[in-house]
Structures are given as C-alpha cells and as structure tokens.
Amino acid sequence: MARVLVTGATGFIGSKLTARLVERGDDVTCLVRATSKTRPLEALGVRLAQGDVRSPRRVRAAVEGADVVYHLAGLVTAFRQSDLHAVNTEGFRNVAAACAARTTPPTLVSISSLAAAGPSSADRPRVESDPARPVSHYGRAKRAAELIAADYSSRVPITIVRPPIVFGEGDVAMRDVFRSIFRFGVHLALGVAPKRYSLIHVRDLVDAMVLCGDRGSRLDACAEFAAHSPRGYYFVAMDDQPTFADLGRLIGQCFGRQRVRIMSSSGPSLLWLAAALAEVGARVRGTPYILNFDKAREALAGDWTCSAQAIRHDLGFTPQVPFVDRLRQTSDWYLRHGWL
C-alpha cells in the first residue's frame, strides 16, 4: 500500500484516478481548494488537505509523507494567459519544489498534454522523441511546466504523461459534441472535419497513470538532457485515429443514427467566428468555455495524433476495451444521467 497525494482530485480525470487508487488499497490524500465540491471524495474515505497549488506552503504540507504524487491540478481554459501560467506552470513548480525539499523525494507523475508537444504531421503520429512545438497559450504553459520538471529531474523521480483528447463518463468538455448529435443529428466540424485526432478513454488513462507511478521510466537526471530526451515521457492514446468528421459518425452510431450531418467548412473563418461568439458568451456568464480563440488556434494547426508505442513497450499498457465500445459506454452514461 502506497501513501499517495493527488492534486486536481475533484476534476474529471482526478476523480477517476482517486477512485482507482482507493480501489487498489492505497492510502490517498487529496489537495483540494476551499471552494471545491468534495462530497464524492469524502464518500471514498480519502484524506482531504485544503490548499491550492499556487500556495507553496500548502503544497509542502500536503506532499509531506507521500510516496507518490499524482499532479493533475490545472486549467484547460482561462480568460487570461497569465492564469494558465500561474496554475499550469507555477503550480507545477510548487509541487516539484515541495517534492525536492523532502529528504526522500516521492515519485512525481504529472499530467501534461499533447498540446505541450504540438500538432502532428498528416502522415505520422507524434512520438516522444519529436521536438516540442506547442501552438497555443495552453500548450506553451504545459510545456513550460515540462521544462521545470527537467530542472528538478536530478532531485525528484518524475514521469510526464501526455494524453490527447480525453473522453468518458462524466466528461463535461465532450458532452456538447454528443448532445448535438443525439438531439439534432448534427456534428459541428468547422474547419477541422478532415483532421485526424488521437483519443483516450479516462479509465484507460487512469490505468496508464497508475502504471507510470509504479514502474514508469523517469526523466533523465541531467536537466540538459531531460529537457529534450524522450525518457520519462509517455503519450497515452488508443490506436484509432479518426477524422473529426468520422468521430461524429461513430458517435451517431452509438445513438442508432444512420446518418449524421457534418457541418464543415473549407476555411478557418467560420471556426474563428464561432470561437469569437463563444468567447463573448463565456465572458457574459463569467465562466471560460472550452471553445475559445486558444482552442481554435490548436484546432487549425493540423492533425493531433500520437503513438502509444513507448508506454506499450515499457509498461505493457493497452486499452482494455475497443474505441467504439468506449464511445458507446460514454453515450450510454450521458443518456442514463440525463446529460443530453
């Protein structure tokens, strides 16, 4: 039984990871903000440590005694670039520094993103040895955190996990895609219909993270090499790499629809317009939305595919359920819980 700290445990991925760790018998502590909804975590019987990754003092107290730290706290969207940097970059620095301050530093497994690596070419998925070329504010903030990890690699055993699109039961970000297809038989693919994407179901991602915590490779102990070496990095993805248009058709099949209308465009103008309208609506509501200028910038940059060969080779990781069945599980969950 390991003593584990999870940051970001109230989020979509973090909540699934916490449940998995409890299920296997780990002693779990979760760093949670004062405003977080913690009832699901309390039901799991985990220990709660109140704090924010932006507070070095709170992070140090939470890290004390942990054998493994799973760092998932972060922002996917924000109104200001500075907020992405404060949480995704400097928040990671605080976690890494707290681990390094320990006499026996814990293993640190950190969720980054394919966005930190950048888009792939049309004919080859990204692999860990490819140079990182992020194109968005979000991707650059995540890559900056990876470079901080390299600086701490001689003092802390660190593994970086880079997932692509994550979907699954309870996911708010992908819900609107499923809802539009379920209600209207329409799939919005403005400017991105022919682009290919890697995806990973949340349960498979959680399994991969646990494997990384147990026996994954760690960043090179020399910061200069760690910043550019593939060692200690893992892409986690399913083998399927559908176009965005085909993804809509597959989701439609889960709902029994024989035909899904793909709303596409040959140029970027409509996507930029949709992003602008979404930005305005989000600012009126006071809550950032998943579609914004930063995400439009990512979407238009190219294909977003990656290979999971390294984690398959090193750790024997393989998704337990086929991609189409995972889509069906997700659509069934949305239906049962009235999310559509």
Are 139 and 218 found together in one domain? yes
Q: Is residue 85 situated within a structural domain?
A: yes
Residues of the chain with pLDDT > 70, as a percent, come to: 100
Max Cα–Cα distance, the chain, nearest Å: 60
Q: Is residue 333 situated within a structural domain?
A: no
Residue from 165, 166, 198, 195 nearest 302 by CA: 195
Average pLDDT over residues 311-325: 96
What pLDDT score was predicted for residue 238? 97
Are 155 and 36 found together in one domain? yes
Q: Model confidence at 334, in pLDDT bands (50, 70, 90)?
A: very high
Model pLDDT for residues 19-29, shown as the tens digit of each residue: 999 999 999 99
The alpha carbons of the chain give a radius of gyration, in whole angstroms, of 19
Residue from 198, 82, 214 nearest 140 by CA: 82
Residue type, 330: T
Domain count, the chain: 2
Least confident of 48-62, 106-120, 267-281, 322-336: 267-281
Res. 225: pLDDT tops 80: no
Q: Which residue has the tokens 């404060």?
A: 86
Q: Model confidence at 203, in pLDDT bands (50, 70, 90)?
A: very high
Residues 6+ apart with CB under 8 A from 40: 10, 15
Residues 6+ apart with CB under 8 A from 241: 125, 196, 197, 198, 305
Are 209 and 284 found together in one domain? no
Q: Is residue 292 situated within a structural domain?
A: yes
Give the range of the structural domain holding residue 208, as residue numbers without chain letter.
3-168+199-239+304-321
Are 20 and 112 found together in one domain? yes
Least confident of 23-27, 108-112, 284-288: 284-288
Are 99 and 215 found together in one domain? yes
Q: Is residue 328 situated within a structural domain?
A: no
- Annotate 180-225 with DSSP letters as a single string: HHHHHSEEEETTTTT-BB-EEEHHHHHHHHHHHHHH-----SSHHH
Res. 224: pLDDT tops 90: no
| DSSP H stretches of helix in the chain | 12-23, 39-44, 56-63, 81-84, 91-100, 114-117, 137-151, 175-184, 202-215, 223-226, 244-254, 269-285, 293-299, 309-315, 323-336
Residue from 86, 78, 94 nearest 7 by CA: 94
What pLDDT score was predicted for residue 28? 97
Res. 266: pLDDT tops 80: no
What pLDDT score was predicted for residue 39? 93
Q: Is residue 32 situated within a structural domain?
A: yes
Pairing between strand 47-50 and 165-167? unpaired
Q: Is residue 96 situated within a structural domain?
A: yes
Are 213 and 267 found together in one domain? no
Res. 174: pLDDT tops 80: yes
Torsion angles phi and psi, residue 263, rounded to 5: -90, 100
Res. 45: pLDDT tops 90: yes
